């Protein structure tokens, strides 16, 4: 990378926060002993919630199907331990609202017996559709945090004839190092998974984008990919949000994904490094996604590092494993820029959870927001080229349509604007609020349209009923009249007959 | 000069006559704003506004004889939309907005009289004579037309519980501008 290259490739957007990745990233991976009880939410992915296929009291093996995918975009859930299904009910969701959602509880028998897996020795002999099918059955979803079902993306890539697979090893969020760790420890799995994904989508090359603040991961991946010239390791400048798909695509290929379009439409598909490793396990070993690497970091953690833990483990149990220096002042699922604040630690680890941050009181200070001084820092930082100050000013007075005119829909909620704001205005919170409100309005509109259709149908029905009623009444009246006429006619005939009979000579 | 003045005056008179005739014979019978307002109203004809139905309410709104806050099922959002449409300013803080609601049947009190079924504008209530009735939540608009028909008070309106998919981040609460300056 030459000097000029450096100038031209250095992105003009984004921010460069202190990354806080070490020492957690350098600590060797630890394996969590499976806890006694695991909580497997049915909705750990984008799309429809999975449908339970087990009964309470049923014995399950590790990797056994607990809930099947439901609908076109969905993913199944598997048992991360062998044991007994002890409950199917509600648990607190790892979500800022603290609301609950449906989950299956499995009590471990501590034996860890796997189901009979169906490993594939040569995945490249399989049809791409078969790889997509096996990936879907293994419940693999985007592990970078988006949790979009991987197999659905394969089908999309195949359909739109994608030429390039981008493997996302950006991991630009501060504090997180789970992707870094998987590239250092299991580079072979990541590269093999990437090659399987390439085969599944028919891509000719794979570009692995890794931020240059992870030299160990770059070195390990270079060794693993040495034998495969189609897999190229591309260090990218460390700049937040490099791990966002649109930014990474632009940095690696120079292509810009249009607003309201998907990455596949410009001929690329992005998969996270951890997703590639999960695809490797799903195809080569036949193992469904039941465990993941999660970073435990933050000022309140005694021994920060990466933990290999079964899905469904409670956050509190993970924190107890790494030890706490003090009760955390704030818990965050994911990174500090885009993560979800948790109200407490009694929530399960889900597929999309790349990290859990326990912040000390010192780290968790929220500065008081002041008025906007129109400095324009947020505009320079915005990786999507938006005007955060203008959007927030409109949302603040409830003028959501005004914010939509400033392309609120293009906002990726990366948080760069709020990070650089000298007045500490919680800009992203405005945008999240507005996006939720707008989605709610859209739903209300659909609902009122549906109600109008029902009302129209009822009016038609009432008219039809009235018509049928009057027709039936008319018919009855006609019948009665006919009967009466007939009776009269008969009476006349009878009289006539009597008269005739009487008139006849005896 | 006289010819110019004369011809312009003639043209003015002729065109004025055309316009005047057109205004009389091609007049729009209904106020176009009225039909637009009618589109915005829920259309459930529940009558909570005091008018017979939504069309009559829309007519009153267009004539300016009814306040934009007249529709209880529409809540604050509809009042704001109506005010924007009519170009008037309104204080929405007084509008009670219970949020979206749906009707519920208390199954232990329902006697299966079928009166609510007949009242429902969207056919959201299912049931038969002497059978417990129930409400299809997706079809119920929360208009409350069934509430007064129920002889045993088994029908109630309840707010739709917030689910994970419908939860919305709260709007940030800002200190009033100037507070920081006053302190400094």
Residue A55 lies in a domain: no
pLDDT computed for residue A504 by the predictor: 52
pLDDT computed for residue A493 by the predictor: 84
Read off the CATH number of the domain in which A463 is found.
1.10.1060
Residue A123 lies in a domain: yes
Residue B6 DSSP one-character state: H
> Rounded to a whole number, what is the distance in Å from the CA of A440 to chain B's nearest CA?
7
Segment among A293-302, A349-358, B162-171 with least mean pLDDT: B162-171
| pLDDT per residue as tens digits for the range A366-388 | 888 889 999 999 999 999 999 99
Residues A271 and A390 in one domain: no
- Residues of chain A contacting B138 with CB distance shorter than 8 Å: 450
Q: Is B121 in Cβ contact with A458 (below 8 Å)? A: yes
pLDDT computed for residue A9 by the predictor: 60
- Where chain B has pLDDT below 50, the residues are 178-184
| pLDDT per residue as tens digits for the range A270-286 | 999 999 999 999 999 99
SS3 assignment for B17-72: HHHHHHHHHCCCCCCHHHHHHHHHCCCCCCCCCCCCCHHHHHHHHHHCCCCHHHCC
Contacts (Cβ under 8 Å, ≥6 apart) of A190: A167, A169, A182, A183, A208, A221, A224, A273, A276, A277, A280
Note whether A101 contacts B: Cβ–Cβ < 8 A. yes
Residue A223 lies in a domain: yes
The backbone torsions φ and ψ at residue A180, rounded to the nearest 5 degrees and listed phi first, read: -55, -45
Residue A200 lies in a domain: yes
Would you say domain B98-161 falls under CATH 3.30.70.20?
A: yes
Residue A428 lies in a domain: yes
Residues of B with CB under 8 A from a CB of A: 42-45, 77, 100, 121-124, 138-139, 141, 162-164, 166-172, 174-175, 177, 180
> Rounded to a whole number, what is the distance in Å from the CA of B1 to chain A's nearest CA?
54
What is the rounded CA–CA span in Å between residue B144 and residue B44?
A: 10
Q: What percent of chain A shows pLDDT beyond 90?
A: 82
Greater confidence, A260 or A215? A215
CB interface of A with B, residues 351-370, below 8 Å: 368-370
Contacts (Cβ under 8 Å, ≥6 apart) of B128: B112, B114
pLDDT computed for residue A498 by the predictor: 72
Residues A128 and A268 in one domain: yes
* Bridge pairing between strands A305-310 and A30-31: parallel
Residues A264 and A374 in one domain: no
| DSSP character string of A243-256 | TSHHHHHHHHH---
pLDDT band at A3 (very low <50, low <70, confident <90, very high): low
pLDDT band at A496 (very low <50, low <70, confident <90, very high): confident
Greater confidence, A445 or A35? A35
Nearest CB partner across the interface for A455, out of B43, B163, B169: B43
Q: Is A426 in Cβ contact with B167 (below 8 Å)? A: no
CA dihedral A438, A439, A440, A445 (to 10 degrees): 90
Summarize the confidence of residues A118-142 as an average pLDDT.
94
Q: Is A395 in Cβ contact with B45 (below 8 Å)? A: no
| pLDDT per residue as tens digits for the range A484-493 | 999 988 888 8
Read off the CATH number of the domain in which A267 is found.
3.40.50.11540
Model confidence at A76: pLDDT above 80: yes
- Residues of chain B contacting A425 with CB distance shorter than 8 Å: 172, 174
Which whole-number Å values give the CA distances from A192 to A199, A287, A445, in the listed order? Answer: 11, 15, 47
Summarize the confidence of residues A98-114 as an average pLDDT.
95
Summarize the confidence of residues A22-27 as an average pLDDT.
92
8 Å CB contact between A149 and A297: no
Could you give the residue range(s) of every CATH 3.30.70.20 domain in chain B?
Answer: 98-161
> Rounded to a whole number, what is the distance in Å from the CA of B147 to chain A's nearest CA?
18
Q: How many structural domains are present in chain A?
A: 2
Q: Domain residues for A252?
A: 118-286
Which whole-number Å values give the CA distances from B86 to A498, B61, B62, in the listed order? Answer: 84, 9, 8
> Rounded to a whole number, what is the distance in Å from the CA of B88 to chain A's nearest CA?
16
pLDDT band at A450 (very low <50, low <70, confident <90, very high): confident
Note whether A424 contacts B: Cβ–Cβ < 8 A. no
B75: helix, strand or coil: helix
Could you give the residue range(s) of every CATH 1.10.15.40 domain in chain B?
Answer: 32-93
> Rounded to a whole number, what is the distance in Å from the CA of B139 to chain A's nearest CA?
6
Residue A457 lies in a domain: yes
- Residues of chain A contacting B76 with CB distance shorter than 8 Å: none
What is the rounded CA–CA span in Å between residue A394 and residue A400?
A: 6
Phi-psi region of A98 (alpha: psi -120 to 50; beta: other; left: phi over 0): left
| pLDDT per residue as tens digits for the range B121-137 | 888 999 999 999 999 98
> Rounded to a whole number, what is the distance in Å from the CA of B67 to chain A's nearest CA?
21
pLDDT computed for residue A476 by the predictor: 94
Please say whether the dihedral angle defined by the alpha carbons of residues A234, A235, A239 and A241, taken in this order, is positive or negative: positive
Which whole-number Å values give the CA distances from A23 to A186, A302, A305, B10, B76, in the listed order? Answer: 19, 12, 8, 93, 52
Segment among A22-26, A122-126, A396-400 with least mean pLDDT: A396-400
Residues A248 and A372 in one domain: no
Residues A282 and A147 in one domain: yes
Residues A271 and A392 in one domain: no
| pLDDT per residue as tens digits for the range A145-199 | 889 999 999 999 888 889 999 999 999 999 999 999 999 999 999 999 999 999 9
Note whether A97 contacts B: Cβ–Cβ < 8 A. yes
In chain A, the residue whose alpha carbon lies closest to the alpha carbon of B137 is A447
Provide the CATH number for the domain formed by B32-93 in this structure: 1.10.15.40
pLDDT band at A84 (very low <50, low <70, confident <90, very high): very high
Q: Is B77 in Cβ contact with A450 (below 8 Å)? A: no
Greater confidence, A390 or B44? A390
Residues A424 and A276 in one domain: no
Residues A140 and A250 in one domain: yes
DSSP strands (E only) in A16-155: 30-31, 37-41, 51-52, 59-60, 65-68, 77-78, 83-92, 100-108
């Amino acid at each position: 990378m030459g000097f000029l290259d450096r100038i031209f490739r250095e992105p003009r957007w984004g921010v460069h926060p202190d990354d806080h990745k070490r020492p957690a990233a350098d600590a060797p991976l630890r394996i969590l002993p499976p806890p006694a009880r695991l909580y497997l939410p049915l909705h750990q992915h984008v799309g429809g919630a999975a449908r339970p296929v087990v009964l309470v009291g049923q014995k399950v093996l590790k990797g056994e199907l607990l809930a099947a995918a439901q609908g076109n975009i969905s993913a199944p859930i598997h048992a991360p331990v062998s044991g007994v299904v002890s409950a199917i009910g509600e648990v607190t969701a790892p979500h800022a609202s603290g609301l609950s959602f449906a989950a299956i509880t499995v009590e471990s028998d501590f034996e860890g017996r796997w189901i009979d897996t169906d490993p594939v020795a040569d995945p490249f002999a399989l049809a791409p559709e078969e790889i997509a099918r096996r990936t879907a059955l293994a419940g693999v979803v985007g592990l970078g945090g988006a949790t979009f079902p991987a197999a659905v993306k394969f089908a999309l890539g195949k359909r739109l004839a994608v030429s390039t697979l981008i493997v996302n090893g950006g991991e630009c969020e501060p504090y997180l190092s789970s992707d870094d760790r998987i590239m250092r420890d299991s580079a072979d799995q990541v590269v093999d998974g990437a090659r399987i994904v390439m085969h599944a989508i028919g891509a000719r090359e794979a570009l692995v984008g890794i931020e240059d603040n992870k030299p160990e991961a770059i070195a390990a991946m270079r060794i693993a990919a040495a034998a495969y010239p189609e897999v190229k390791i591309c260090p990218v400048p460390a700049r937040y949000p490099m791990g966002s798909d649109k930014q990474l695509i632009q940095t690696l290929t120079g292509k810009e994904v249009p607003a309201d379009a998907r990455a596949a439409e410009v001929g690329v598909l992005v998969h996270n490094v951890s997703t590639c490793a999960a695809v490797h396990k799903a195809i080569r070993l036949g193992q469904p996604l039941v465990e993941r690497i999660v970073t435990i970091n933050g000022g309140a953690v005694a021994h920060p590092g990466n933990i290999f833990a079964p899905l469904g483990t409670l956050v509190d149990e993970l924190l107890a494993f790494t030890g706490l220096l003090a009760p955390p002042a704030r818990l965050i699922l994911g990174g500090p820029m885009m993560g979800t604040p948790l109200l407490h630690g009694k929530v399960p680890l889900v597929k999309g959870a790349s990290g859990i941050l326990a912040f000390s009181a010192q780290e968790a200070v929220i500065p008081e927001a002041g008025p906007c001084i129109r400095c324009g820092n947020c505009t320079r930082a915005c990786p999507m080229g938006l005007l955060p100050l203008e959007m927030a000013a409109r949302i603040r007075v409830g003028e959501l349509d005004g914010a939509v005119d400033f392309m609120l829909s293009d906002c990726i909620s990366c948080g760069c604007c709020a990070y650089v704001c000298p007045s500490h205005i919680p800009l992203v919170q405005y945008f999240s609020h507005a996006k939720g409100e707008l989605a709610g309005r859209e739903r209300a509109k659909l609902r009122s349209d549906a109600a109008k259709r029902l009302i129209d149908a009822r009016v038609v029905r009432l008219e039809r009923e009235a018509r049928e009623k009057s027709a039936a009444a008319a018919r009855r009246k006609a019948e009665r009249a006919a009967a009466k006429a007939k009776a009269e006619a008969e009476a006349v005939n009878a009289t006539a007959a009597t008269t005739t009979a009487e008139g006849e000579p005896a | 000069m006289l010819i110019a003045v004369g011809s312009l005056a003639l043209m003015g008179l002729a065109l004025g006559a055309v316009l005047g005739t057109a205004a009389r014979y091609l007049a729009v019978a209904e106020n176009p704003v009225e039909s637009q307002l009618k589109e915005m109203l829920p259309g459930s004809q529940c009558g909570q506004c005091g008018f017979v139905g939504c069309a009559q309410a829309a007519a009153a709104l267009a004539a300016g004889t009814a306040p934009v806050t007249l529709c209880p099922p529409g809540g604050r959002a509809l009042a704001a939309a109506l005010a924007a449409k009519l170009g008037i300013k309104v204080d929405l803080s007084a509008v009670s907005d219970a949020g979206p609601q749906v009707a519920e049947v208390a199954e232990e009190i329902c006697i299966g009289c079928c009166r609510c079924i007949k009242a429902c504008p969207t056919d959201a209530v299912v049931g038969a004579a002497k059978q417990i009735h129930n409400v299809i939540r997706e079809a119920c608009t929360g208009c409350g037309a069934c509430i007064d028909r129920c002889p045993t008070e088994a029908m109630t309106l309840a707010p739709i519980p917030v689910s994970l998919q419908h939860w919305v981040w709260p709007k940030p609460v800002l200190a009033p501008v100037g507070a920081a300056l006053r302190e400094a």
